[in-house]
Amino acid sequence: MDYDTIAALYKNAPTFAALRKDWLPLAVSYLHYAFKRKHEVTLPQDVFREGLDAYLEHVNATLPDDRQHTQSASYYIDRWSRDDDLIRVRSRDDGYVVQLSPHAERLIGWFEEMQKRGIIGTESRLRTIMSMLDDVITHSTEDVAARLAQLIERRDQIDAEIERIEQTGEVDGLSDVQIRERLQHINSTASQLLRDFSAVEERFREMAREIQQAQLNPELRRGDILGTALDADERLEASDEGQSFRAFYEVLTHPHQRETFDNLLSALFAMPRLLNFVEHNATLQRLTSHLLEAGERVNQSNQRLAEHLRRVVDTRNVAESRRVQQLALEIKHIAGRIEAPDMLTATRRTFLTVEGDPIVDLPLERPLFEPPERVEAGERPRPASTHIDADALIALYDTFFIDQSALRENIARLLMSRSQVTLAEVVNSYPIRQGMAEVVAYVVIAAGTPQHRIERSLTDTIPIAAPDEAETRTVNVPRLIFSRQSQPEADLV
């Protein structure tokens, strides 16, 4: 933190550049309103522009003529995008969505911190520091005896508290001030965590830009470009924030840890005493979904980086293939000139003789042995009745009407808590009630939706409960994997 460092940051950092802009109050106030107060991570650009038009009209009505913002909403959106206040992301319908950049997150956070807080929590922060110190000391020792002594001491404390509660029938609780203090600390920590995700996502975008710059260098070969990308990815994975994010995402997506986290939030909102403190706290109410969405955005950035690498390799492959074709064509021209009559010498020699068609038989092209699939027959099928009345025909027709929207809703409910599910997991929560026609409907959904897929090399056994039979039949089907819809691809151009 010397003079030169501060001077360079003040001159070049986008956050300080924004502080010198005349439209800073407009940008910060509207970005905070559109993203923070409404608790949005991304917004369609058209919706963002319409909201900015209305906001400009409202703000200009309160300002004198010489201070009004006279430019259009589209102008400010383009300007904020060029100045790195906004990130525009291409959506799947060839439109754009916008999201806050890392430095815009920091800028809004500064203004939030400068505003007066409801309570200055000192006691909760001190206890947080003490708890973290205890956690570091407890889990940093490799001495088995010391660790056992710590656990025994903790057990004795718990036993003493149980005995005291049984004797007195009283439980020590937090006061209203302590509750407000701790909830404010949780809220600020959660908001800071969500802001930090954009910085991790920005690291992946920087890596993508490095790859683009390397790709434009004609002297670098494909291996050099891949080496640059892999080195950058390795540096990010080995960094403190990379390792911390990986551990965070493993905790959040682990079924048991996720269930524990959800149960804690549910218990928080279910306690009558805490209702006045949390009923209007939108950050805590949507914390799980915000964390999952932010983590998924970081993963999507990593996937976009991998996809960009694949395109780099494919582009270089095409260029090298064209070069090989050009060299082969030059060889053919040289061979043709050698065979031309005006270039023959007194002694004619054969350039190349090939008898018959060339046969290429590569050992590695031979497929591995695959044993034929054995079909295990169960009990003999029972003969069908030849007598079918009109009511039976109507019932048979009705059984083939499957409401695919209800099946899609079943899949969507399960994908709210995980990134992908199989048909077996869906059926475990929502059993088959309408026979094979319902199973076929799930197959149609998997085959007709881009993010879902069918793994034909794997099979799942699906139970089918027949309404008119006591026993449950089963059917083996290829594994259907339903995935959550991915985030839109970032426009790096």
pLDDT reported for residue 423: 92
Q: How many CB atoms lie within 10 A of CB 73?
A: 19
Helices and strands (DSSP H and E) totals, the chain: 19, 6
Block residue for tokens 């996937």: 303
204 and 277, same structural domain?
yes
Contacts of residue 194, Cβ cutoff 8 Å, sequence gap at least 6: 290, 291, 294
Cβ 215 vs Cβ 193: under 8 Å? no
**Eight-class DSSP state of 432:** B
Q: Do residues 479 and 195 touch, judged by C-beta distance below 8 A?
A: no
At 393 the pLDDT is: 43
Residue 293, amino acid: E
Whether residues 240 and 296 fall in one domain = yes
Strand, coil or helix: 276: helix
Domain total of the chain: 3
Domain with residue 62: its CATH number is 1.10.10
Number of neighbours of residue 176 by Cβ within 10 angstroms: 10
Residues 334, 195 within the same domain = yes
CA–centroid distance for 422 within its chain: 19
Same domain assignment for residues 306 and 209: yes
Q: Is 452 exposed, middle or buried (0-12, 13-18, 19+ CB in 10 A)?
A: middle
pLDDT at res. 316: 57
Give yes or no for a contact between 337 and 343, defined as CB atoms under 8 angstroms apart.
yes
Looking at 62-175, list the stretches that DSSP marks H as alpha helix, in order from N- to C-terminal side.
73-82, 102-114, 123-140, 144-168
469 vs 433: CA distance, rounded Å: 12
Examine the domain organization and report whether 186 and 321 are in the same domain: yes
Note whether residue 304 is domain-resident. Answer: yes
Is 454 part of a structural domain of the chain? yes
Q: Which residue, 343, 293, 275, 289, is CA-closest to 488?
A: 293
Q: Are residues 191 and 310 in the same domain?
A: yes
Domain contains 242? yes
Where are any strands of DSSP class E within 338-382? none
Q: Which of the 8 DSSP states describes residue 43?
A: E
pLDDT tens-place values along the chain, 493 residues long: 778 888 887 787 777 777 777 778 888 889 888 888 877 778 888 999 999 999 998 888 888 888 888 888 889 889 888 888 888 877 766 678 888 888 888 888 888 777 755 566 667 677 778 877 777 777 777 888 888 888 898 899 888 888 888 888 888 777 777 777 777 778 777 777 777 766 676 776 676 666 667 666 666 666 666 676 666 666 666 666 667 777 777 777 778 887 888 888 788 778 787 777 776 677 777 777 777 777 776 766 666 666 666 666 566 556 666 777 788 888 877 777 765 555 444 455 666 777 777 777 788 778 888 888 777 766 666 665 544 444 554 454 455 667 888 888 888 888 888 889 999 999 988 888 887 788 888 888 888 888 888 888 888 999 887 656 667 788 888 899 999 875 444 443 3
Residues 450, 456, 458: CA angle, nearest 5 degrees: 120
User: Residue 153 domain-assigned?
Assistant: no
Does residue 424 sit in the same domain as residue 330? no
CB 315 within 8 A of CB 214: no
> Can you state the percent helix, strand and coil of the chain, rounding each to 5?
65, 10, 30
Query: How many CB atoms within 10 Å of residue 86?
Result: 23
Residues ≥6 apart with Cβ < 8 Å to 357: none
Would you say residue 258 lies in a domain? yes
Q: Which of 114, 148, 163 is the endpoint of a domain?
A: 114
Alpha-carbon span 113 to 111, nearest angstrom: 5
Question: d(Cα 223, Cα 476) in Å, to the nearest integer?
Answer: 45
pLDDT at 397: 43
Alpha carbon distance 433, 436 (integer Å):
9
Closest CA to 432 of 466, 396, 455: 466
Is 337 in the same domain as 410? no
Cβ burial of 454 (10 Å; 0-12, 13-18, 19+) is middle
Q: Which of 342, 372, 400 is the last residue of a domain?
A: 342
Q: Dihedral angle at the C-alpha atoms of 96, 99, 102, 107, nearest 10 degrees? A: 130
Same domain? 326 vs 421? no
Same domain flag for 329 and 438: no
Residue 162 lies in a domain: no
For residues 334 and 395, membership in a common domain is answered with: no
Helix axes 176-216, 102-114, angle to 10 degrees: 160
What separation, in Å, do the N-terminal and C-terminal C-alpha atoms of the chain show?
A: 35
Under a CB-based contact definition with an 8 Å cutoff, are residues 406 and 438 in contact? Answer: no
pLDDT at 446: 87
Residues 331 and 463 occupy one common structural domain: no
Confidence (pLDDT) at 317: 59
Query: Is 201:284 a contact under the CB 8 Å cutoff?
Result: no
Helix (H, G, I), strand (E, B) or coil at 100: strand
- Report the C-alpha gap between 281 and 190 in whole angstroms: 12
Neighbours of 103 (CB within 10 A): 20
Structural domain that includes position 412: 390-483
Q: Give me 421's structure tokens.
A: 């599910």
Residue 325 falls inside a structural domain: yes
Could you tell me if residue 426 is inside a domain?
A: yes
- Note the pLDDT of residue 482: 92
The last residue of a domain, from among 316, 342, 368: 342
Question: For position 169, what pLDDT does the model report?
Answer: 82
CA-to-CA distance for 455 and 461, rounded, in angstroms? 14
Residues with Cβ < 8 Å from 302, sequence gap 6 or more?
Answer: 204
